[in-house]
Chains A and B, each alone.
Chain A
C-alpha cells in the first residue's frame, strides 16, 4: 500500500504491549460467575430464568429488553444462585445473576448452524446475530443487529473492519487476528453479505506486521482489502478510521451510516462467524490482562461474568500493589476501585498500573499553548472549551460542538498544564444531553 492513510491530530503514546507475544489461553472453569444484565448500550435485558433453576452453557438467560438491547446467555452450566446486583465499571450497581457452576460445563442445544451462509438470506443471518446476543466488542457495546440494519434511506456501500487496536497495552485483537484469521475473514464476509457491500477495508496498524501479513494472505480471493495504517492514536476511532481509509468525513453529530459506512471490530466479526457457522452465542471473549505489577500478563478467552479478581489471579497475581486499575486501555478505559467487577462483552482489557506509573496531577491554569487544538482528532478546541465548562457555560460548549468529543484523551495527554480536559468534556456532554432531553420533554408536554 503506497497510499498514506492518516487523519488529523492524534498522539503517539508508549505502546507497552506486554502481552503481544503471549498466545491466547483458555481460562479454567470457575465456581461462580456474576453475569450482569446490562452489557450493552440501550435497555437492560429482561431475565427469563428464575432463581434456583438449572441452566446450561449457552442457554438464554435474558431476552433483549427493547429494540436497542441484546440477549445474554449463560457462560456455563449450573444453578442460578441469586438474582442480585453487582458492581459495574461505572461505580454503580448493575442488575446481575450469580451462576454457581456444577463443574460439568454441559452445553445447551446450540442455535442451528448455518454452514451455507454464502447462500443464506441476509435477514436470516441478521436474525441470528440478534439471537446470539452479539454487541460491538471494541468497547462501545452497541447491539450489532441494530448497527447492521440501517434505515432504507441510508444506503451502505462500504464496510470498514477495525483491527487497529490503537490503545496502548492491549493485545487481544492482535492475538485474535494471529490465531483465528479464518473465522475473522468468514465473519467479515457474513457482515458484508448482510449489508450487501462489495467495498471492504480491514485496517490494521503497522506495528502489527505479522497480523498484516497473515490477514493479507488469508484475505486473498475475497473482496477484503487489508490496509496497513500509520501508528497513531486514536487510529481505531470509528470516524478517524473511516477518514483514513475512505477520505469520507462523518458530519458533526451524525453516524457513519450517513456517509454509507459501517464499522465493525474484528472481535465482533469473529463472534458473528461463531454464531452463524457454529451456532454458538456470545458468552466468551478475548481479554488482555496486563500491566507491570502482574507476574504473567497475557490474553485469555474469558467467559462473561468472570470477576477481574479471578482474571488477575490467572495472570499470576501481582508483585506489587497496583495504584490504579483500569477497565479497558490506558487512554479511554475507565478506572475502577475494586476487582469485584465482572468481565462484560465489551471488556477488551484489564490494566493494572504500578505506583511509579501513576501521576497525581495538580491541575494548573491554561497557558493557551494550543497543543490540545493540534492533537484533537475531532478538531475541537479542548482548552478554550474547558475554561467555558469550568464556568458552567454549557450552552456555549454546545455551540462549540462539545458533543463531537469522543473522549479519546489526546488533549489531556499533551496538556502541559495537567488540565483534566476530558473530564470537563465528559461533564459538559452529560449536562448538554440532559438539557436537550429536558427541552424535548417540555416541548412534548406543551404540544
Chain B
C-alpha cells in the first residue's frame, strides 16, 4: 500500500513538473509547419534541393521555397499545401525517369565475360563493361540500388526498367548511371526511343537487335516537329510527342511505349555473374 502511494505520488509530482516546464519554457510549435510536415512524403530523397522533407517544409513556411519543388508529391497534396500557405498554386508537369536502352541479354551481344563487383559503376572501369555496345545498359543495378522508391527493376534479362507508376522523378538514378542512359521526361509522353548509341546504323545493328538504326521511318511518319534525327539516332520531341501508334513503323522496336509491367524479379539477384 505504501509502495503504491509512493509510486502514484512521485508520478503525479513529475507529471506536474513536466506540465509546468512545458507551459512556461516549452518551444513554440508552429501549427502551420506541423500541418505541412504531415503532408510531406517523408522519403528524404533530397530531390527538392533540401537535406530532407523537414527542412523543405520549414523553408516553405518561411516563404523561401515554393511548393512544387518536391517531385514525389501529388497535385492534390501540393494544392493542400498551397491552401495552407495561402499562395497561388503553379501547374507543373509530372515527370518520370526512362532508361533509354533496349539491349537486354536477348537483343544485345557481349564482347567479354565480366567477373567482378556487381555494380555498374565498378564494371564501367573494366574496359567500359562487357556489352559490345559501349553505350548500353550494363544491367548490374546501380540505378535500382540508388532509387529510394524501388521504382527501378533489373529484368531477368539484365536490363534496367523504370516503373512509371512508382517513379517520383527524384533524379537519383540519373546521377548514378555511369552510361548516362537515364533522363527525366514528361510522364504524358506516350512513346520513347529506347536507344542512346550515336554510332552508325550497321554498327549498332551488329551490337544490338533492339537499337535505333536511324532509318528515319518514324521521323517521316510523325507529324511535323514531333520527332527529329540527332545524328544516327531518332529523338522524340517531348514538347509535342507523337502518338503511341507510331511505334508500329519502327523495324527494331526501339521506338515503343513505356508500358508498365508487373514487377517480375527481385532486385537482389539482378545481374549476378554475367
The answer to whether A and B belong to the same complex is yes
| A residues in contact (CB < 8 Å) with B | 89-92, 334-338, 360-363, 390, 420, 423-424, 426-427, 430-431
CB-nearest residue of chain B relative to A361? B115
Q: Would A91 and B122 count as touching, CB distance under 8 A?
A: no
Identify B127's interface contact among A335, A363, A427, CB under 8 A.
Answer: A335
A-B contact pairs, 16 of them (CB 8 A): A90-B128, A91-B128, A92-B128, A335-B126, A336-B127, A338-B111, A362-B273, A363-B117, A420-B117, A420-B122, A423-B117, A426-B122, A426-B125, A427-B122, A430-B125, A431-B121
Chain B residues with CB under 8 A of A362: 273
B116 at the interface (CB under 8 A from A): yes
B112 at the interface (CB under 8 A from A): yes
User: Count the A-B residue pairs with Cβ separation under 8 angstroms: how many?
Assistant: 44
Q: Would A424 and B111 count as touching, CB distance under 8 A?
A: no
B134 at the interface (CB under 8 A from A): yes
Chain B residues with CB under 8 A of A360: 113, 115
Chain B residues with CB under 8 A of A426: 122, 125
Identify A423's interface contact among B112, B125, B128, CB under 8 A.
Answer: B125
A360 to B122 alpha-carbon distance, docked (Å): 17
Chain A residues with CB under 8 A of B119: 427
Q: Would A423 and B116 count as touching, CB distance under 8 A?
A: yes
A339 to B205 alpha-carbon distance, docked (Å): 22
By secondary structure, the B interface counts as loop
Chain A residues with CB under 8 A of B113: 360
Chain B residues with CB under 8 A of A423: 116-117, 122, 125-126
Chain A residues with CB under 8 A of B130: 337
Min C-beta distance of B115 to chain A, whole Å: 5
Chain B residues with CB under 8 A of A335: 126-127
A335 to B129 alpha-carbon distance, docked (Å): 12
CB-nearest residue of chain B relative to A362? B273
Q: Would B126 and A424 count as touching, CB distance under 8 A?
A: no
Chain A residues with CB under 8 A of B134: 91-92
A183 to B127 alpha-carbon distance, docked (Å): 36
Q: Would A90 and B127 count as touching, CB distance under 8 A?
A: yes
Chain A residues with CB under 8 A of B117: 363, 390, 420, 423-424, 427
Which residues between 96 and 148 of chain B lie within 8 Å of chain A, taking CB atoms? 111-113, 115-117, 119, 121-122, 125-130, 134
Q: Would B127 and A420 count as touching, CB distance under 8 A?
A: no
Chain B residues with CB under 8 A of A336: 127
Interface size on B, as a range, is: 10 to 19
A362 to B113 alpha-carbon distance, docked (Å): 14
A430 to B117 alpha-carbon distance, docked (Å): 15
Chain A residues with CB under 8 A of B125: 423, 426-427, 430
CB-nearest residue of chain B relative to A426? B125
Could you give, for residues 184-222 of chain B, a 1 whenever the CB lies within 8 Å of some chain A CB and a 0 otherwise?
000000000000000000000000000000000000000
CB-nearest residue of chain A relative to B121? A427
Closest 4 CB pairs of A and B: A91-B127, A91-B128, A337-B112, A427-B122
Chain B residues with CB under 8 A of A338: 111
Give the interface centre of B111, B115, B134 by most chain A CB atoms within 10 Å. Answer: B115
A91 to B126 alpha-carbon distance, docked (Å): 8
Chain B residues with CB under 8 A of A420: 116-117, 122
Q: Would B127 and A334 count as touching, CB distance under 8 A?
A: yes
Min C-beta distance of A274 to chain B, whole Å: 33
A360 to B273 alpha-carbon distance, docked (Å): 9
A334 to B128 alpha-carbon distance, docked (Å): 12
CB-nearest residue of chain A relative to B118? A363
Min C-beta distance of A341 to chain B, whole Å: 10
A91 to B112 alpha-carbon distance, docked (Å): 11
Q: Given that A337-B111, A360-B115, A361-B115 are contacting pairs, would A424 and B122 also be in contact in the complex, using a CB cutoff of 8 Å?
A: yes
CB-nearest residue of chain B relative to A325? B112
A426 to B122 alpha-carbon distance, docked (Å): 8
Chain A residues with CB under 8 A of B111: 337-338
Q: Would A337 and B127 count as touching, CB distance under 8 A?
A: yes
A431 to B134 alpha-carbon distance, docked (Å): 21
CB-nearest residue of chain B relative to A431? B121
Min C-beta distance of A436 to chain B, whole Å: 17
A336 to B112 alpha-carbon distance, docked (Å): 9
Known pairs A338-B111, A426-B122 / 19 extra A-B pairs, C-beta < 8 Å: A90-B127, A90-B128, A91-B129, A91-B134, A335-B126, A335-B127, A337-B130, A360-B113, A362-B273, A363-B117, A420-B116, A423-B116, A423-B117, A423-B122, A424-B122, A427-B119, A427-B121, A427-B122, A427-B125
CB-nearest residue of chain B relative to A386? B117
A423 to B116 alpha-carbon distance, docked (Å): 8
Min C-beta distance of B49 to chain A, whole Å: 15
Chain B residues with CB under 8 A of A430: 125
Chain B residues with CB under 8 A of A431: 121
A361 to B130 alpha-carbon distance, docked (Å): 16
CB-nearest residue of chain B relative to A89? B127
Min C-beta distance of B198 to chain A, whole Å: 12
Could you give, for residues 261-274 of chain B, a 1 whenever the CB lies within 8 Å of some chain A CB and a 0 otherwise?
00000000000010
Chain A residues with CB under 8 A of B126: 91, 335, 423
Min C-beta distance of A146 to chain B, whole Å: 26
Min C-beta distance of A257 to chain B, whole Å: 28
CB-nearest residue of chain B relative to A337? B112
A89 to B128 alpha-carbon distance, docked (Å): 10
CB-nearest residue of chain A relative to B110? A337
A427 to B115 alpha-carbon distance, docked (Å): 15
A142 to B194 alpha-carbon distance, docked (Å): 41
A337 to B134 alpha-carbon distance, docked (Å): 13
CB-nearest residue of chain A relative to B127? A91
A337 to B128 alpha-carbon distance, docked (Å): 11
